[in-house]
Amino acid sequence: MKVIISQQNKKLLITFKSGKLVDKYRIDKADDFLVTVDKFLRKRRIKSIGRIGQISLIGPMGLLTERIIRAIIVGLRF
């Protein structure tokens, strides 16, 4: 699975790519990222994340936003 995160104005655009499946979500703050991951897993009926492949943070992003997202992803890898 590939996760691409970019910031547009004050919103975050989250893109999940798993094989040929692509899901995009727009959220207001980095704290909602975990809710977005849950939505993706339920929608695609994925039991566990397993190995998260490539993570891309695109464009200028606030340091706090980047740290929150990286902390969540590190937690998901365990």
pTM: 0.67
69: domain CATH number? 3.30.420.40
* Residue 67 structural domain: 2-77
CA distance 58 to 49: 22
CA distance 74 to 28: 21
Helix (H/G/I), strand (E/B), else coil: 62:
coil
The pLDDT of residue 76 is 66
Dump pLDDT digits (tens) for 8-55: 888 889 898 878 889 999 988 877 887 887 788 788 776 665 556 667
Helix (H/G/I), strand (E/B), else coil: 19:
coil
The pLDDT of residue 25 is 92
Domain count, the chain: 1
